[in-house]
Amino acid sequence: MISVKGLHKSYGSLNILKGIDLEIEKGEVVVVIGPSGSGKSTFLRCLNLLEHPTKGEIKFEGESITDPKHNINATRQKMGMVFQQFNLFPHKTVLDNITLAPIQVKKQSKSEAEAIAMDLLRTVGLEDKKDAYPAMLSGGQKQRIAIARALAMQPHVMLFDEPTSALDPEMVGEVLDVMKKLAKEGMTMVIVTHEMGFAREVGSRILFMDGGVIVEQGTPEQLFGAPQHPRTQDFLSKVL
């Protein structure tokens, strides 16, 4: 579904990503772990071109999205993204946050978009908040709305950029529960996270990144149970 070849990203002389190759299949839940500054988030943001790769190719459903002629707006509709800082639209109600893109981009009717939005709000357990503004919500609620907003575009893959890192500890669970539900329903997901327990439980494949490359990857049992690379062993000994 996603195919990455020789991906490099640098800012001036600072090399963040130094050659990443990866195939992600439909239905996989790929969890990316690694120390701060390892390039995890940059890698994820390259997948929907929020960051433009310096070198390399990314294909999504067979189409090269790094081709300059490619219309990225069309592809982004199929790739939902959830941010560390939620990035809800503060001047719009919860319902408007969710229906804006379906109405504007997919040209859904208002009633159709609202019906889908209400379904999603029920899924994330926040249907009573439809008329609230983001400022009135807790961090955990904001992030669940942000997930609903991304899902409203009916994406084929969901990208999560440290979705629980800005949350108070007692709110992490409610967001992870929503993500678990999604994974169970077979959504293809790429998740950058520091939640090792969650990675182990939900991930179908774990990538360990450090220094701008994928150092090691495998099933949760392989990577957490018997890490092969010394850098992986060192990292896991610090965080587990």
Could you list the residues that contact other proteins (CB under 8 A)? 48, 50, 73-74, 76-77, 79-81, 83, 85, 87-92, 100-101, 104-106, 133-135, 146, 149-150, 153
Task: Tell me whether residue 74 or residue 115 sits nearer to other proteins (CB atom).
Answer: 74
Min dist CB 213 to other proteins, Å, is 25
CB-wise, 29 or 81, nearer to other proteins?
81
Q: Which one, 49 or 213, has the nearer CB to other proteins? A: 49
Nearer to other proteins, 96 or 210 (CB): 96
Q: What number of other Cβ atoms are within 10 A of residue 238's Cβ?
A: 8
Q: Whose structure tokens read 């084929």? A: 156
User: Closer to other proteins at the Cβ: 64 or 87?
Assistant: 87
> Closest approach of Cβ 64 to other proteins, in Å?
18
Q: Closest approach of Cβ 129 to other proteins, in Å?
A: 14
Can you list the alpha helix ranges (DSSP code H) found in 128-240? 139-151, 169-184, 196-202, 220, 230-239
Q: How far is the CB of 160 from other proteins (least distance, A)?
A: 12
Instruction: Mention every residue, 6+ apart, whose C-beta is less than 8 A from residue 225.
Output: none
Helix (H) or strand (E) holding 103: helix 94-104
Task: Give me the least distance between CB of 38 and other proteins, in Å please.
Answer: 21
Nearest alpha carbon to residue 228 among 240, 216, 213, 210 = 216
Task: Give least dist CB 30 to other proteins, A.
Answer: 18
**Residues whose CB is less than 8 angstroms from the CB of residue 67 and which lie 6 or more positions away in sequence, other chains included:** none
Instruction: For residue 188, give Cα distances in angstroms to 35, 88, 123, 191.
Output: 24, 23, 18, 10
Torsion of CA 85, 86, 92, 95, to 10 degrees: -170
100 vs 236, beta carbon nearer other proteins = 100
3-state secondary structure of 197: helix
Question: With respect to other proteins, which residue has the nearer C-beta, 61 or 133?
Answer: 133
Q: First CA to last CA across the chain, in angstroms?
A: 31
Amino acid at 204: S
Least distance in Å: CB of 65 to other proteins? 13
